Amino acid sequence: MKAIILCAGKGTRLRPLTFTSAKQLIPVANKPVILYSIEKIKEIGISDIGMIVNTENVSAFQDALGDGSQFGVKLSYIIQTDPKGLADAVSVAKDFLDGEAFLMYLGDNLIQEDLVSFTRDFEQKKLNASILLTPVDDPSRFGVAVVNGDAVLKVVEKPQNPPSNLAITGVYLFDSSIFEGIANIKPSWRGELEITDAIQYLIEKSYKVRGHVIYGWWKDTGRPEDLLEANRRILENVRHSRKNGSINGGSKIEGHVIIEEGVEIINSIIRGPASIDKNSTIMNSYIGPYTSIGQNVTIENAEIENSILLENSVVRDVDIRIDSSIIGKNATVSSIEKKPKVHNLVIGDYSSIKLG
């Protein structure tokens, strides 16, 4: 069995972060989201993975992941030149899949549930399609399935009046019959070829389509608040680790904190769970729980908690605590020392700034 990971979307809900990076490469707990997906796929014994990317982000994925060998998998890059929906993404991978059954995984998903039984049931029951489902409070945001037992009776994409609360998580198993389904659908009102329409075709043609319900934690990391929630969830499981970092000047480390090589902490309080990546400097500051600090970050005279700081960012001389924030690569947040005290902002498209 092979796998495909879909990463060709534009990530508009995460702008401006996604103007310079694919959303699947944004780190959560200092590890790109895509690596959690690759690890989950590897756990179920699949090592041959096709990355569905677009012409704009393919080089970023290649630079970050290479051929996959360092992660114990084999990666192939497949270009979806004009992203026209999930079913279209499957179509462009047809040659790579070469008639084999396959796992389809949306690259911005984070799932803690073990997927071994999901795959085993698909193979043992000789299913044509299996959909990973989970109950949610807001099903209108997702594709939704109606089931009878484990048999899927109907699927619908982002319904205004959801017929059930079972959301399609973005993890699927298919055999080659899905290509028959894709060949017999038309673009939706969104102008996209919906994978839900292809699955509905299989249902109506009496193919064996089943649902596999999970109740563990799952998150679609498509919005800033979702990234922050995922960051909190993953940091809850970290254990204290220090790799040659320098801690001095009356600093105090409380709770579980990962401190990577080259980190320098001076006269500061770090309260875990938190993660501080290589060569970052924290001086005269407070870092609160659920904070991930990327490589080469500088924090001076500031208080930060429940936040994600990407590599090479700088926070300096900020007299109000920063909370529930994502600070992008090479960004600078600082105060103005001279009078009058004003807010002096350079804000990119789709940014969100809230001043206390």
In the beta sheet, which residues pair with residue 84? none
Q: What is the pLDDT of residue 13?
A: 57
- Give me the helices (H) in the chain, please: 17-20, 33-43, 58-65, 86-92, 94-97, 116-124, 178-183, 195-204, 224-235
pLDDT per residue as tens digits for the range 127-141? 999 999 999 888 888
Q: What is the pLDDT of residue 162?
A: 85
Residues of the chain with confidence (pLDDT) below 50: none
3-state secondary structure of 140: helix
Q: Cβ distance 267 to 283 under 8 Å?
A: yes
Bridge-based pairing state of the strands 166-174 and 241-242: unpaired
Q: What is the pLDDT of residue 262?
A: 93
8-state DSSP, 114: -
Top CATH class of 2-222 equals alpha beta
- All structural domains of the chain with their residue ranges: 2-222, 238-334
Q: Give the count of alpha carbons within 13 A of 146, CB side only.
A: 12
Which helix (H) or strand (E) covers residue 219, if one does?
A: strand 218-220
In CATH terms, the fold of domain 238-334 is UDP N-Acetylglucosamine Acyltransferase; domain 1 (2.160.10)
Q: Cβ distance 121 to 130 under 8 Å?
A: yes
Q: What is the pLDDT of residue 340?
A: 62
Name, in order, each residue with C-beta under 8 angstroms of 173's C-beta and a sequence gap of 6 or more: 101, 102, 103, 104, 118, 119, 122, 127, 129, 130
Q: What is the pLDDT of residue 346?
A: 60
pLDDT per residue as tens digits for the range 12-29? 555 655 556 677 888 889
Whether pTM > 0.75 for this model: the answer is yes
